[in-house]
Amino acid sequence: MTDRAKNAGADADEDSSDDYRGGVNDLFRSATRDVKRLSDRPAPPITPRPKPKAAFTRADRQAVLRESLHPELNPVLEDPALLEAGDELAFRRNTVSETTLRRLRRGHFSVDGELDLHGLTGPQARAVLRDFLSAHIYRGSRCVRVVHGKGLGSGPRGPVLKNVVNRDLRRFAKVIAFGSARQVDGGSGAVYVLLDGAR
């Protein structure tokens, strides 16, 4: 191919490319003909979402503080006979059937969250448990797992955290059932907690 032929081919490609760009530009102008330019005003400020409402009252928080300062006011921590290290937990409200409790203890419910209380004192565990349950109740969770340990290291006091969990879970109106977990999920050192889905 001669140089003249190569130049003629390149010119033809350039012309067709210009025609294509011109057509696309015309099409774009036609499509955006009625578009109006936005003003240069700053965007309105984003309003913050409302804070979630606490499920517990100030009186409940003060009771926790009072019991932490005066352990003698907390019968669970003073009565080691309530639960022994190997005891399994099981509780259901009257509105929950035995079948549902049995299904819960067999792990048939999907667990939406887990809390591990190992290493906490009784009062710390109560506060953390309360906050954890509040958050999951607010989210609409159906089932959560709480690991409290078996209490083998608690000595003569017995399983402190297990007793705290047993007592405090019964106090929550939104806790409709709980039971010791399957062996693979902690056995007698953990509980599945079934929450009332309705807000």
Cα separation, 172 vs 75, in Å, equals 18
| Whether the predicted pLDDT of 53 surpasses 70 | no
Cα separation, 61 vs 64, in Å, equals 5
Confirm if 192 and 139 have CB atoms less than 8 A apart: no
Q: Among the listed ranges 59-68, 74-83, 185-194, which one has the minimum average pLDDT value?
A: 74-83
**C-alpha 195, offset from chain centre:** 13
Q: Indicate the domain borders of the chain.
A: 58-195
Q: What is the separation, in whole angstroms, between the first and last Cα of the chain?
A: 82
Q: Quick one: tokens of 147?
A: 């690991």
Q: Which residues on adjacent β-strands are paired with residue 46?
A: none
Which CATH class for the 58-195 domain?
alpha beta
- The tens digit of pLDDT for each residue in 103-158 reads 998 989 999 999 998 888 888 889 999 999 999 988 889 999 999 887 666 555 56
Percent of the chain residues topping a pLDDT of 90: 16
C-alpha separations of 86 from 35, 89, 148, 151 in Å: 73, 10, 12, 8
pTM over 0.85, yes/no? no
